[in-house]
Amino acid sequence: MSFLQQKWNEHQLRPARRYSSQREFEADWVSGLRRRYRLSQERLAALVSVSVTTVQNWENPTSAKRIAEHNQDRLRDIERELWIKSHVTLLEPCPPYIRALHELMSANRDSSAQGLADYLVTCMDARDSGRARLLHWAGLSYSIADPTSSKARAYEEAALQALGSGNDGNDSLVAAVENEILGSQFEDLLALLEGEARRDKGRQLMQACRRLFQRDQQPAYLWNALEVACRAPLDLQDRFGLVGELQTQLGETCVRRRICAEAAYQAARELVADPVLATSATLN
């Protein structure tokens, strides 16, 4: 079975939107790949070693020209390479087991990566400073094949919990791992369609950012939590609570200025511009 045929079959089991034909689905998948990783048609054409016109035909749902199977295989490999690059980096010092997981995932050996990750998580001491990083990679070994995997979500939640545990070790490495995990989780949040799954992911990530703030008292974590609450989007009361905490930490003027200036916080602007709405949020 070809790669896009398999993707089409998976889509029909859990349709996020309706397509008039498999060809329309394939066209949208290719253009979606480009949008997701911010690739131009020229860049994608270079990666696949085809002409720009060929990519344009692939993205045209009315084109009768199908995507050859060898090009589908290359698109599959490119998607995997881009996914791994956008979700993880081999931060130094890098333990051998992290390198092994990276190599297995890069080689499309997900079941082997999952087996190794499960074994390592079972063996590692809960107090080990590298546990959050390992749990993060364990989650990735499952989500690279299936972003909706319950096992991936369980590992992701455990990794986020471990971030706030206080088992720090090397402070600079821990900060880098935190940024990697939170960045990966935020990308996954934005990739989800509007709905309860996206809000659930947002609540999980917002709570993780709150835990990190409680541990380190760094306002940057509250700003991260507010961006998550705005993008998910979470309840008005969640946004109001975070705005209030930031105002306590930094002052109303500073918080209002940043919220009004940055698009990421657009869903919170009404709370700093409309006192009536802000009062309503405290009552609900």
Q: Which two structure tokens, joined as six digits, stand for 281?
A: 């949020």
How high is the pLDDT of residue 18? 87
How high is the pLDDT of residue 284? 53
pLDDT range class, residue 275, cuts 50, 70, 90: low
Q: For the segment 2-58, what is each residue's pLDDT rounded down to a tens digit?
A: 888 888 888 888 777 889 899 999 999 999 999 989 999 999 999 999 999 999 999
Residues 6+ apart with CB under 8 A from 275: none
Residues 6+ apart with CB under 8 A from 215: 164, 166
The pTM of the whole model exceeds 0.85? no
Question: How high does pLDDT run on average in the chain?
Answer: 88
How high is the pLDDT of residue 129? 83
Q: Which two structure tokens, joined as six digits, stand for 171?
A: 């402070």
| Residue 216, CA atoms < 13 Å, CB-side half-sphere | 20
Residue 188: pLDDT above 90? no
Higher local confidence (pLDDT), 34 or 88: 34
* Percent above pLDDT 70 for the chain: 93
CA distances from 191 to 35, 55, 64, 255 (A): 11, 23, 29, 28
Average pLDDT over residues 155-184: 76
Average pLDDT over residues 59-82: 91
CB-CB contact of 67 with 58 (8 Å): yes
pLDDT range class, residue 283, cuts 50, 70, 90: very low
Residues 6+ apart with CB under 8 A from 120: 97, 134, 138
Least confident range from 24-28, 90-94, 202-206: namely 90-94
Residues 6+ apart with CB under 8 A from 247: 255
Burial of 61: CB neighbours in 10 Å, binned 0-12, 13-18, 19+: middle
DSSP 88-130: ---PSS--HHHHHHHHHHHTT-HHHHHHHHHHHHHHS-TT-TT
CB-CB contact of 91 with 173 (8 Å): yes
Higher local confidence (pLDDT), 217 or 165: 217
Phi, psi dihedrals of residue 153, rounded to the nearest 5°: -65, -40
Higher local confidence (pLDDT), 261 or 89: 261
Higher local confidence (pLDDT), 245 or 179: 245
Torsion on CA atoms 45, 50, 53, 56, rounded to nearest 10 = -50
Per-domain boundaries in the chain: 3-76, 88-187, 192-284
Task: Provide the CATH number for the domain formed by 3-76 in this structure.
Answer: 1.10.260.40
Q: How many residues does the chain have?
A: 284
